[in-house]
Amino acid sequence: MLDVREPWELQTACVQEDGFDLLRIPMREVPQRLAELDPSQPMVCLCHHGMRSLQVANYLTQNGFTHVVNLQGGIDAWSNEVDPSVPRY
């Protein structure tokens, strides 16, 4: 999972889920840090409501990543539908 929110957002609410790795790279840093990501691995992109992560998912797809999805609704939806202990903001 790739969380593309800003550091202050990560301090407010964060996903902690067993079974997957979580990498935190703010959206604006993704192009410079692209080498940190493995294009052969499945990738789920996450932000607050799903718009920034959708842009990042599209960018990754354009750059050779073949197993990329956007977490529609972002961490806000995660809080509502998966883990209500995650604060909403």
For residue 4, how many C-alpha atoms fall within 13 Å in the half-sphere facing its CB?
27
Instruction: Tell me if residue 47 is catalytic.
Output: yes
Q: Please pick, among 45, 46, 47, 54, the residue that the annotation labels catalytic.
A: 47
Distance separating alpha carbons of residues 3 and 5, to the nearest angstrom: 6
Q: Which residues are catalytic?
A: 47
